[in-house]
Chain A
Amino acid sequence: MPSQIVSLVVNGERREFIAAPGVTLLASLRESLGLTAAKRGCAQGACGTCTVLVDGRPEVACLVAVETVAGRSVRTLEGVAAGGELDEVQNAFVDCFATQCGFCTAGMIMVAEALLDRDPDPSEADVVEAISGNVCRCTGYRPIVIAILEAARRRRGAVSR
């Protein structure tokens, strides 16, 4: 099977690149588009470090053959800080010390974005459920949950920063 030209809308911009058959969305983002925020922790769908949003839904990019999402809209961590300003989730991760080594952070933030997009007022259980596919081996789960709840509060405007 020959390589093909694949087109995606990445962080709002149309991008085209050549993809070998079967190449993953993760490899395409990292190696063809130079967007390296999404990480390869396991390459087998088990850790969530590669999570990006495809049409707003979190997907493990290491398991998605890129041709199957051709033409769709993909959001990565690079697209979150609009105009160079950190958004509520990013700010809350900084303020609540929700990062340690930082390797899981991109995936954690992307699932948090998807969660808050669909539910601006999640319960703690909803947050735990949302990040349940994401491993943090530095085991900073507690601050991550607190940061996501804090981001939701800030986004609702109940607490200003």
Chain B
Amino acid sequence: MTYRLAPIDTSTFAAERAAAAAGRGVDGGDFTVIGSVVQRSDARGHVTGRTEFFEDVLPPRLAHLKMHRSARHHARILDVDLTEALAVPGVLRILTHADIPNNLYTPLKLIGVGPDDEPILAVDKVRYLGEPICAVVAETEAAALEGAARIRVAYEDLPPVFDVEEALKEGAPLVNEYHGQNHFIYEGHHCRRIRFGDVAEAFARADHVFEWRYQSAPIEQAPAETTGCVVVPQADGRLRIHSDTQACFFTLDNTALILNTPFNKLRIVGGTVGGGFGGKVDVVVEPVACVAAMAADRPVRFVYDRAEEMQVSSPRAAERIYIKDAVMDDGRIIGRKATLYVDAGAYARHSPYGTTKAAAHLPGPYAIPNVWADCHCVFTNRTPSSAMRGFGVTIADFALESQMDRIARALDLDPLRLRLLNAYRDGDLKAHRKVAEGTALVEVIQKAAELAGHELPEAYRRMSSTTREGL
């Protein structure tokens, strides 16, 4: 096994380097790039294979970590038997919850979100299929896998709940005791709420009321490179973490809290991510790999195989959204009521934040004078969900824009005109009490219509985001 140091690539920005060397200033004198083609700074590394991804780091005496994971959706752990696993040749250590200094955490603790609700390694209960229970550290990947397969866990099954609305019903099985109920609490409220104007009055005087339901499945980010890290103990007692996390400092801080160690005992080498799309924002591999590296006093690699990436890495949350609109004959929407359920899975991770984002996004980019929304962050026995590309917003947009199209169809209106009529303008007060500024939806729709050859009447072509013309 060879230890490779990252080569220093002096081939990028060759022109700038030459300019600097010739004394024409460090920036080569001209950093005006708008309107010109600029090579990506990482492209040469990628096309030569010199870019160093975390798994390309191969320190000597590298040990390997594999998880024994829950075979149940929801169960009490009665017994964990490591005897056979410890007898597998090559197995160095098996970590359980008792080995993790601060076993209980939640990643958004860093911005004051609580409570801690997730164990690094399961303690007395598992809450989703695939939840980590024991970490096997071994000489080879094969020995680690063999060890993990030989751990025996005795379970007592508990009833699982997989549906957001079922989970909120009276008498539903309690998923996460640290919350005490199957939903996140927002400043004393059962959900993130919007109350703006009087929707009841709007529904009473509307010409039409439309209500539809929208639903999405969880979506796996499926990056080309799976989630993982290599932790290398340093001579001075620090740990160097090579990781493909999308959030180096976030990972470092959370890992330090979990290890109960000062932040300066950890160093993250990262920033090269083989695709993330939000799926590498959670802090799931580094803490346990650090504990393993300290326990074994060796470099440790913990990397998901493809099946783990698909099954246990947190996907985009499944959402269910009900939208009810009060609409006038001419297409003006005078009231909108939305009930949104985000399936956080068994643990909070980033979902309380995603749900807040969803609430802030309602009622869409439209000036609707009466808005009521309840956005629930719900715990179920499904894989914990988390960040993915505009989480909270993307599925809400799917629902909102589908709703707009269906209203247009029901009233036999042009869907673009319906949107132009309702689009917010500069100065409109949005439902969450922010004044809309720098809006451009009207102009974007007009331009799109023009490009698509979609005829708009003169009155609609004269509408503008900065005036109230045509309203």
* Residues of chain A whose beta carbon lies under 8 Å from any beta carbon of chain B: 30-44, 46-47, 49, 76-78, 80-81, 86, 90-91, 93-95, 97, 99-106, 109, 135-138
Contact = CB atoms under 8 A, between A and B. Distances in A.
B306 A41 contact: yes
Which 9 pairs from chain A and chain B are nearest by CB?
A: A37-B49, A102-B46, A103-B274, A36-B56, A77-B49, A103-B224, A90-B47, A99-B46, A42-B306
Interface in B264-280: 272-277
Contacts of B44: 86, 94
Interface in B285-308: 305-306
Contacts of A76: 49
Interface of B: 1-2, 4, 39-40, 42-53, 55-56, 58, 222-226, 272-277, 305-306
A77 B55 contact: no
A138 B273 CA distance: 11
A41 B50 CA distance: 17
Of B1, B224, B274, B276, most A-chain CB atoms within 10 Å: B224
Given A39-B274, A43-B306, A99-B43, A78 B224 contact: no
A94 B46 CA distance: 9
A109 B47 contact: yes
A93 to B, nearest CB: 5
A46 B222 CA distance: 13
A41 B274 CA distance: 9
A62 B438 CA distance: 52
Contact of A105 (B46, B55, B226, B306): B46
A49 B276 CA distance: 16
A48 to B, nearest CB: 9
Given A77-B48, A86-B47, A99-B40, A36 B4 contact: yes
A36 B2 CA distance: 11
B261 to A, nearest CB: 30
A90 B224 contact: no
Contacts of B224: 39, 41, 47, 49, 101, 103-104, 135-138
A130 to B, nearest CB: 17
Nearest to B51: A102
Contacts of A99: 40, 42-43, 46-47
B42 A94 contact: no
Given A36-B58, A99-B46, A137-B224, 15 more contacts: A37-B50, A39-B224, A41-B226, A43-B306, A46-B306, A47-B306, A86-B47, A86-B48, A93-B46, A97-B43, A99-B47, A102-B42, A105-B49, A137-B277, A138-B275
B225 A101 contact: yes
Contacts of B274: 39, 41, 101-103
Given A31-B1, A36-B56, A102-B274, A43 B305 contact: yes
9 contacts: A36-B4, A36-B52, A40-B55, A47-B224, A91-B47, A94-B40, A94-B47, A105-B46, A137-B222
A101 B49 contact: no
A36 B226 CA distance: 16
Contacts of B42: 99, 102
A111 to B, nearest CB: 14
A52 B44 CA distance: 19
A91 B39 CA distance: 11
Given A36-B4, A40-B55, A97-B40, A103 B225 contact: yes
Of B45, B56, B225, most A-chain CB atoms within 10 Å: B225
B117 to A, nearest CB: 30
Contacts of B4: 34, 36
Of B39, B222, B274, most A-chain CB atoms within 10 Å: B274
Contact of B49 (A36, A40, A47): A36
Contacts of B45: 102
Contacts of A33: 2
Given A41-B225, A77-B49, A137-B224, A101 B275 contact: yes
Nearest to A105: B46
A101 B272 CA distance: 8
A81 B47 CA distance: 9
Contact of A81 (B39, B48, B222, B272): B48
